[in-house]
Structure 1
Amino acid sequence: MLEAAAAAAAAAEPELDPEDLVHFSVGDLPSRGYGVMGEIRRQGKLCDVTLKVGDHKFSAHRIVLAASIPYFHAMFTNDMMECKQEEIVMQGMDPSALEALINFAYNGHLAIDQQNVQSLLMGASFLQLQNIKDACCTFLRERLHPKNCLGVRQFAETMMCAVLYDAANSFIHQHFVEVSMSEEFLALPFEDVLELVSRDELNVKSEEQVFEAALAWIRYDRDQRESFLPELLSKIRLPLCRPQFLTDRVQQDDLVRCCHKCRDLVDEAKDYHLMPERRPHLPAFKTRPRCCTSIAGLIYAVGGLNSAANFYAGDSLNVVEVFDPIANRWEKCQPMTTARSRVGVAVVNGLLYAIGGYDGQLRLSTVEVYNPETDSWSKVESMNSKRR
């Protein structure tokens, strides 16, 4: 009887007109609600859990922690032992970082600075707050410096932050010379220094800078490190050093002179210059120039013929232009002192050489060199023969 009456009443109700249906919403209600809960927490009311780190205690609401922090969501919704405890001990967390992350759960705001970034990253990693972990990594990546990059790399490896680790590695490669002068570098263990000076990617103007970095590391604690010199020197590409440097600097260094193995390595490098026929017998890495893959090079266009000319006639040019692939633009450099087409060019020790060529009337034996740091050309010794 009751079911029949309910069915009859339902049939008697008129259908709702869509125009009579109104959706009402308050868009900022969730954010205002969290703000109110944060104020309630500051007043110490309605809190149902206390997080303890050492002697520090922080009261909070389980529902807010579970809604905002994945670690607590798993703890409070999966019948773990802690879900019913009034006080939960948080092992290994920095108290100020935990307090900041609890506040973040209520207001979505976090202040990151040089003093707290590492403790926040560690806390965020523990609490599974990936967005905060990423923000801390970005903060550190944007502030890499020759004096801190080695420490940041080690920290990134410990925290398994792959993007930050790669960024620090790339920075070390690009700024190796400055990094090698830092206290962090001088304090590195031998294995790390050995691995670093073995890398192809170091950005150095010459191998001589790598040698100086290695010797500075040895001298920083000579008594404890002197025995490492032969192995360290074996990873430096001494054959790529200038003969004058090998003779006047490397061979004369007291650390090298006192070590038979080191003297053998110097002799090997000198033989590279004195007896070219023996070069194929050297280990390949010792004659392979360093190449920092994270730094784009520049492309120089040197001399040539004007657009109205053909291969056999026309005006030779002294114009020099450079293309920057990062900025994606060409710029003019200081022109050569002599117009040259069919000119030979080479880069040696960061200087650009223009060799011989044709000035539109005569073949040339003259050679000039361009210094990109001063944007200037200067003449050097001519060749014995004219070449184009």
Structure 2
Amino acid sequence: MYTEKVRVSENVVEQTLHAASRLGFYLIQEACEEFLMENTNLKNCLKMLERAYKFSLSKLTEKSLEIAAKYFKVISKRSRFKELPVEQMISLLQRDDLNVDSELDVFKRFIQWLEHRKAERLQHAADIMATIRLPLLSPSAIVDSVESISYLMDIPECQTLVKEALHYHCIPSRQTVLQSSRTVPRNQLVSDLMVVLGGAPRYKCDSVNDDVIAYNLATNSWKSVATLPEPRHHHASVIFGGFLYIAGGERYNNSMAPLNTVFRFDPRSGAWLKVASMKHNRQSFNLAVLNNMMYAVGKYSVFCGRLDAVESLSSVECYNPISNSWHEVAHLSTPKRCVAVSTLNGRIYAVGGSGNKMISSRVESYNPFEDKWEIKQPISTPRFFAHLVSISGSLLLVGGATVSQDGTITCMDSIERYTPSSDCWTVISHMRTPRAEFGCTSVGSKIYVAGGYNWDTMERLRSVECFDFDSHIWTEMKEALPVELTGLSLACIKTFNGGGY
């Protein structure tokens, strides 16, 4: 039985690791790894990385790479950087937290490393070049700084990577379906941001909101992060390929002319791109994404207040970002507006809504391969202006309003859960504040609702509330919306610069 303590020091740590590895003394290996991690810093991180690979020390590998990535601008100028083996070079350059000012800097450091031992390293050029996020470079930088290196272009795999990067910029609308690990910015400030887009103000004489405001869950504060290309309310928005799409709605507060325009917001740069307009002007409808396509479901084309619409349609159209065009698909079974829409298990679900002066309890499921809608189990109470959210293999129907037999409009406070396997709806909770015409989004297992209109109290709302699906508990956020808004949309975008556009 061994009772002596093992003393670890810089002078003997490698010998100790070697012996512990051969003899299977794993506790000693762990002690040595902890010692090395405690002594890993900017000065020796590349040396520690070499040791970590030599003795297969995963924790030390991560610690060394983390420091090297954070101080990449410093360590990439050292002579030891040029001696990094291929495997270690790939592990470093593929990290999301590589701290660089530009992806062009990463490429230049790669070229310096490659040319240090060009003859033996050229065979690995494509593997390492695949870790560099060339699509994030401008087309001119790709042509002038990358494509101009002839010995790289002699390698077919490197040619393919350059073509991929150039094609990414050729037709901007296609970027939505060309997203990959090489199109994600490197940044240490990646976070999910809840944003409010547009909305109608309290008074018709006031301007429709064109602000994009973000809620910081850490500081409980609102911040303006962008401006809509056009002000709008009762529009639709959806996340598609990491981009935020916003479509349709009404531009003015006292008009009856819904829009058909569609814009795409890039969270990486804060830039808007106008894409193809919908075939139909739409308001109080919803968007859904399925199989790299975006669907616009439900509409009414002339708005005459909350209760009336001159025309509700069953029209459904589909947007293809490859061709940047819309085309009609199978219609809903009946004309609808204010319908709740979401996707689950390869299907689009449309729930409730209103049309032809009737509130619907109908649930329909769209099969994109057969291009047809199938009737499912209806909800217990007809409702419109609700939201449908997909969470943990189920659909949750949140909020909205209904009309009683005497014609009174009341808000629905129940949350109904739909389970596809049993085709069954179950009430699982009730809202703190019933509302319709509100914004709704999910972040992980939490659902957020903001603004809207409470028919029970006849008031416009500013409050923002959160439903935790795991605990079934509602909480009210500390800071309400800056202004009362109805017909707003809520979305969760991933930001790469702290949201400071």
TM-score w.r.t. structure 2 length?
Answer: 0.36
Could you say which structure has the greater relative contact order, defined with CA pairs below 8 angstroms and 6 or more residues apart?
Answer: 2
TM-score, normalised with respect to structure 1 = 0.44
Q: Which has the larger radius of gyration?
A: 1
Which protein is richer in helix relative to its size?
Answer: 1
Structure with the higher fraction of residues in strand conformation: 2
